[in-house]
Structure 1
């Protein structure tokens, strides 16, 4: 079984390769085929697959380290890696029969998981007929299965898993940031999904399911939203570290055009560099604390207060990381907005990542405030 140290070491070995492919990945508007093969060959995609299916059954701290390292090279590639890792855990929430289908062929699955209930779901004998469009299909460009979600006629959320051959991928992903994720729309046209390949949306958000009863490891019973935060936080922390490395290189070589001053010899540069290093380390400390808290709650259970606190923590991380990245870019000089400069790609990618609905700052602080005043939760992403 692959150990945590081996997984982290393999991620570090991949870092220079991902960095070298970052511009090409962005130009492709999808993950690089070789990157997906590398992630599989390294055992990274499989790291949270249960041992029952041949996976490493690793932990959230190891996932944090692995994704953080990958994001230092290419934020888009790290995002897809994180989703494939985390969504193998979602697959372990399905019924045992569905898990056998998904994991049985090769011991892991490449699964985009669209959890927003955008699909129309009609009950029929033995299952459901599904139609609709799911945007934000991160991972769909190399998927073998897809998960989409919808509302039943009773207005109950439910998720549905089907082979990628049953869907159409609509090439709409033309984004300023995270262009290399290829997060295109998933279109489903009246496809039958057997009931055993569907999952109650309330159960998914609570965590434990009939499928997770197969495992003694409580990680597989983690609720949807805390797991989503654990998946995306290291994309931010690693991306910010990658941006800092690029920023340090800029300051080391920069000479002002009109005065000829060497920037690294100026006191102002020392102050700004110190601030960016301190801020990047602080974001990493917050990210690690978030993961540590999540792992502790896996063992004890997630109360409503815990879930709201994690939402606030993740949203604060996103807000702070975005501000630090913006400050770096503002101090980098106008020549670094050129497309051949790595820092501008980190800037665009992190601006897009931190706009994700799961860690919306306004919604997060509202929910924290509502809880303080004894008011009920008023948003589904908690």
Structure 2
């Protein structure tokens, strides 16, 4: 297994500034269903957007481990801000699969462009001279209202066989958004719907989804740009959930160890803390796997399993805390209920479900492929 040779980029220092700024606005952001513009700009200035951008374009080419710790730290104060920070970094990593000319176009004004991504292939791309004409509708595109660019996945007809799936980069202004995000948690992530109506996208602003899934990258030799998607997909969403669980633990501590402190309540707090620490260790293991490039079928399956398990542990821990804290913790102004809603919403993401890919991948790695007759 190769050693992790990444150098610290200073993202932790930037994250601390974001954390301090976001904390007093977290409750208002939850109520208003949007982050304050100054908080979004702080995420940009902290270095999240540039963390995985190529060094040749002014980016940091940072490590997954450093990013995870920064995201978890921010999420202890404001999970929605941490979600925004995590997506800013990971979506830029996706855009690093664009051809060289496309990367230069996206980051022409510097490496701190905020990029959103619609990962589900919900649109169509019709070949046109020099590129494609794109149309479609993509749901749950987090942070799109703040994005400078948005990546969307669309199906393009192939001469023989199934359609070719492409990621296409669209500049702000070439699409519109519908305010459809109405979930009870992570309310300020702005995970709205993107609508594209017959927009031309030049060839250099597109790449084949297969490269993303396999970890191949014909446009970059950087290690962080050559990662199988299964190893990193869950990490994007579970790190904010684990940080939110840590925030919930702190919020619950003032309730469970106050005037009504009892051995039973101390046990609840201790058990929840152990579950959250276990979740954090699983997330850290996934980051190490990425940074050391340990990409065997077994480790890839374990990474999917770890992400799902970490999300489940975080959700179980916070549910135990809120159930034991009483109705006071469910009041609109109490931070514990906000963290609870955020953890539940984050952990419901498809990338964090055992029943989707994690169980199938891990069982195949341990037991071999499933018998098609079963």
Instruction: State the TM-score, normalized to the length of structure 1.
Output: 0.90
Q: Distance in 2 between matches of 1:25 and 1:31?
A: 5
**Greater Cα shift, 46-55 or 92-101:** 46-55
Equivalent in the alignment of 2:359: 365
Q: Distance in 1 between matches of 2:341 and 2:55?
A: 38
Task: Answer yes or no: is 1:7 the counterpart of 2:7.
Answer: no
Q: Distance in 2 between matches of 1:197 and 1:6?
A: 30
1:371 deviates by: 4.2
Task: Answer yes or no: is 1:374 the counterpart of 2:371.
Answer: no
Q: 1:205 aligns with which of 194, 213, 220?
A: 213
The alignment partner of 2:198 has SS state of: strand
Q: Deviations over 1:75-119 (max 9, x none)?
A: 111001100011121121110000001112122321111121110
Equivalent in the alignment of 1:32: 36
**Greater Cα shift, 38-47 or 96-105:** 38-47
Equivalent in the alignment of 2:22: 18
Equivalent in the alignment of 1:339: 332
Q: Distance in 2 between matches of 1:244 and 1:77?
A: 18
Q: Deviations over 1:221-280 (max 9, x none)?
A: 112332222322321221111111101122233xxxxxxxx312x221222222122222
Q: How many residues align?
A: 362
Task: Answer yes or no: is 1:43 the counterpart of 2:51.
Answer: no
- 2:54–2:60 CA contact under 8 A, matched in 1: yes
Q: Deviations over 1:37-88 (max 9, x none)?
A: 1122222322222221112221111101110101001111100110001112
Task: Answer yes or no: is 1:112 the counterpart of 2:109.
Answer: no
- 1:60–1:230 CA contact under 8 A, matched in 2: no
Distance 1:207 1:166, change over 3 A: same
Distance 1:119 1:5, change over 3 A: closer
1:373 deviates by: 4.1
Q: 1:57 aligns with which of 61, 71, 77?
A: 61
Distance 1:340 1:145, change over 3 A: same
**Greater Cα shift, 55-64 or 183-192:** 55-64
Instruction: Output aligned runs, 1:113-132, within 5 Å.
Output: 113-132=117-136
Equivalent in the alignment of 1:233: 238
- 2:257–2:266 CA contact under 8 A, matched in 1: no
Task: Answer yes or no: is 1:144 the counterpart of 2:140.
Answer: no
Residue ranges of structure 1 left out of the alignment (5+ in a row): 254-261
Which contiguous aligned blocks of 4+ residues in structure 1 show a shift greater than 6 angstroms? none
Equivalent in the alignment of 2:200: 192
Distance 1:189 1:181, change over 3 A: same
Instruction: Output aligned runs, 1:286-305, within 5 Å.
Output: 286-297=282-293, 300=294, 302-305=295-298
The alignment partner of 1:190 has SS state of: strand
Q: Distance in 2 between matches of 1:146 and 1:350?
A: 26
Distance 1:224 1:123, change over 3 A: same
Residue ranges of structure 2 left out of the alignment (5+ in a row): 1-6
